[in-house]
Amino acid sequence: MNTVPESLDMDALRSFVAGIDAGSFALAAQHLCRSTSAVSAQLKKLEQQCGTALVMKKGRHLQLTRSGEQLMSYARRLLSLNDETLRAVKGEALQGEIRIGMQEDFGEALMPAILGAFNRQHPGVMLTARVDRNLAILTALARHELDLALLWQAEQQSGTQVIGQCPLVWIQHPAFDLAGILQRGEPLPLVAFEAPCVMRSRATGALDKAGIPWRVVFTSHSLSGIWAALQAGLGITLRTRAGLPEGLVTESQRLPQPGHLGIALARSDQSDDPARALLQHLITEAALPYVQG
């Protein structure tokens, strides 16, 4: 008699992928609204189903075993197909309008993939998208001109879900002579958004605390302007690795550690609209790779 093939547990696969993306199964448990012990039990079940260890600890970090790397490739495809199937079957009833905003760092990397797939699978939902700076997005939310927004964490913002903390890094062109500037004691040339800007404030605050003189040599209204100035070697900036263009590098040895900045998903109200809830889930999942556990 033929035996029925064993099926992998989809919830366990989701916890496995979320844990690796977040760098911590404890952090993944928060995102998945489960206890850490429940997520650990799912990983153990998955390892029993596969008959091999999938994850090992290397210091404070998680590392995939060879079998874990192989499973991860299949897991992402299986989860994607599972989610697409459910959205296609259940999504016929989804109707309405969603106005979404994204901070510039996330716009190019996340918006096309998320909104493109959502729009194809739920043609009954009318999407309106906007990419802008944090302050403009927050203002639009307060005026109820947007329903959802992915942005950098802001203080005293109601209706906000913090997805996680993203490391801040100093970014420059490889030919930028940072060592020489510091050795000569010259003011460090900064490339930044016009004030007010949370990353500009974090950069100048960190340099002031370290006793490093600075001067702003280039300001821009747009992120593309920041990247162009760095490519030209005009100075150095403080941002995250989100959307980091090829040809630019990060600096971690000569300048003070700038810390982290929270990624937040904000809502203009607490509506339980199913279309909005689904899009909120998709955005959260897509933002996880940017988060450090």
pLDDT: is 252 or 12 the higher one? Answer: 12
**Segment 216-239, tens digit of pLDDT:** 999 988 888 999 999 999 999 999
Task: Choose one of 63, 88, 113: the last residue of a domain.
Answer: 88
Q: What is the pLDDT of residue 293?
A: 45
Q: Is residue 79 part of a domain?
A: yes
For the chain, what percent of residues have pLDDT higher than 70? 91
Residue 145, SS3 per DSSP: coil
Give the up-direction half-sphere exposure of residue 170: CA atoms within 13 A in the CB hemisphere.
20
Indicate the number of domains in the chain. Answer: 3
Kindly state whether residues 20 and 67 are assigned to the same domain. yes
Q: Is residue 1 part of a domain?
A: no
Helix (H) or strand (E) holding 280: helix 274-287
Residue 38, SS3 per DSSP: helix
Specify whether the CB–CB gap between 242 and 102 falls below 8 A. Answer: no
Specify whether the CB–CB gap between 54 and 46 falls below 8 A. Answer: yes
- What is the domain range of residue 76? 10-88
Q: What is the pLDDT of residue 2?
A: 53
Residue 154 has pLDDT above 70, yes or no: no
A 10 A CB-CB count for 232 gives 12
CATH of the domain at 200: 3.40.190.10
Residue found under tokens 């008699």: 1
Q: Is residue 277 part of a domain?
A: yes
Residue 144, SS3 per DSSP: coil
Kindly state whether residues 99 and 157 are assigned to the same domain. yes
**Tokens found for residue 151:** 């942005």
Q: Is residue 3 part of a domain?
A: no
Gap between the Cα atoms of 110 and 284, Å rounded: 10
Q: What is the pLDDT of residue 191?
A: 96
Residue 91 has pLDDT above 60, yes or no: no
| Listed range (84-98, 105-119, 271-285) with the worst mean pLDDT | 84-98
**Tokens found for residue 106:** 């996330």
Kindly state whether residues 248 and 280 are assigned to the same domain. no
Query: 161 pLDDT band (50/70/90 cuts)?
Result: confident
Q: What CA dihedral angle connects 81, 87, 88 and 94, to 10 degrees?
A: -170
Beta bridge partners of 219: 192
CATH of the domain at 40: 1.10.10.10
Residue 74, SS3 per DSSP: helix
